[in-house]
Amino acid sequence: MLAVYIHIPFCKQKCKYCDFNSHPGLESFYQAYIDALAGEISFQASKLDSPDVKSIYMGGGTPTLLDTAHIDAILGAVGRYFSVARDIEVSVEANPETVSLDKLTSIRKAGVNRLSIGFQSLDDEYLRLLGRKHSAEQAVKAFRLAREAGFDNINVDLIFGIPGQSLANWALTLEQAVSLGPEHLSCYGLTIEPGTVLEREIANGLIENPDEDLQADMLVYTMESLEESGFEHYEISNYAKPGRQCAHNLTYWSGGDYVGFGAGAHSKIESRRFSNIAGPQKYIENAGTDSCVADTIDLSLQDEMSEMLFLGLRKTEGISSEEFKARFGKPVQAVFKDEINDLVRDGLVIQDGRLRLTKKGILFGNEVFSKFL
Ligand code: SF4
């Protein structure tokens, strides 16, 4: 069974914090890109022997910049060349300024049953600071339109730790988002990525660096507050109402197989990882041929064991020592003895038949994962 990811690398404008593979101003390439995707989907399906698909996720970029006919064509190509059961999770990422009731209704009819809306904040001052193209009011409206269009599984993406943002401001955004009743929330601490506008603004003294201690306080607040509101904290940045975890992303964290279509998309099939050419125009020229793949890595046994640790520990349930032994033939404590001892001693990980992050480990997740990289 495969999870399918489809990358749409188009945006209206570049947000100030964004280092994703997304590009404004490429409207004239949309149709060629959809055709290229269909070519790649058919090509890969023939190589993979048309396996069963267990989830589809269309991310970006901004997939909802496309016409519904484009989204329909992409999903149609997956359905034509792969075995797709009717009831699988089909997610699409949406930006508030790109949706209308008509568009959402037709996307829902096209078979999309989960929407992930990028709010990021519900405060116009911070939306401007982040370079978002929508207001808080548009974000709330997008959510209501999605409900009206029949979406009963909605994720809201939020960012905390924005320069100048107080804990009270974050708490208010979180409360307002929760009051809408989403099934899922993804809450990320802002990171300043190299080459972004925000990085330049900080270097030029125009805005402050995010305060790391305050960001940690916000994360603790988020965990406690969302738990009180009935959300399960199931991955470092992700919270779901019971039964509403994102099946697609769980495949990544559980070491399952996935195939990515589109510019820069990554795939993992058994012990091989590969990724596509990142530039949209170059991708269009090469899709549907072997030269579409820019990088291939064959994972060693040691790589696979490390991956199970640094991906599995992202989930709050952690990893099962028994499963590790069943998969690799040796106990995890024997393979990573020093690393685990250090992490347990520092209070970052606990062992109880499973290996999982403590609350402190969640706050210092990167420190834990770097032990296994
Ligand atoms: S909408 Fe998302 S992908 Fe597009 S520029 Fe903003 S953060 Fe990046």
Confidence band of 51 (pLDDT split at 50, 70, 90): confident
Q: How far is the CA of 69 from the centre of ligand 1 (A)?
A: 22
Q: How far is the CA of 147 from the centre of ligand 1 (A)?
A: 23
pLDDT of 49 reads 78
Is residue 373 pLDDT above 90, yes or no?
no
Is residue 311 pLDDT above 90, yes or no?
yes
Confidence band of 243 (pLDDT split at 50, 70, 90): very high
Is residue 147 pLDDT above 80, yes or no?
yes
Helices (H), the chain: 30-48, 68-81, 101-109, 124-130, 136-148, 167-179, 197-203, 212-228, 247-253, 280-286, 301-312, 321-328, 332-335, 337-345, 359-363, 365-370
Closest CA to 365 of 169, 188, 181: 188
Confidence band of 54 (pLDDT split at 50, 70, 90): very high
Q: How far is the CA of 314 from the centre of ligand 1 (A)?
A: 24
- Are the beta carbons of 361 and 348 closer than 8 angstroms? yes
| Range 175-203 average pLDDT | 97
* Percent of the residues in the chain that have a pLDDT greater than 70, as a whole number: 100
The single-letter DSSP state of residue 82 is S
Strand stretches in 123-213, DSSP E: 154-160, 184-189
Pocket of ligand 1 (CB under 6 A): 11, 14-15, 18, 20, 22, 60-62, 95, 118
Q: What's the whole-number average pLDDT of the chain?
A: 96
**Mutation test of ligand 1: which of 7, 14, 128 has the most ligand atoms closer than 8 Å to its C-beta?**
14
* Percent of the residues in the chain that have a pLDDT greater than 90, as a whole number: 97
**Whose Cα sits closest to atom 6 in ligand 1?**
15
d(CA 136, CA 98): 14
The single-letter DSSP state of residue 204 is T
Cβ count within 10 A of residue 123: 18
d(CA 57, CA 116): 10
pLDDT of 86 reads 87
Q: Which atom of ligand 1 sits closest to the CA of residue 13?
A: 5
Q: How far is the CA of 331 from the centre of ligand 1 (A)?
A: 42
Q: How far is the CA of 8 from the centre of ligand 1 (A)?
A: 11
**Whose Cα sits closest to atom 8 in ligand 1?**
18
Question: Angle at CA 224, nearest 5°, toward 362 and 215?
Answer: 55
Is residue 50 pLDDT above 80, yes or no?
no
- Say whether pTM exceeds 0.75: yes
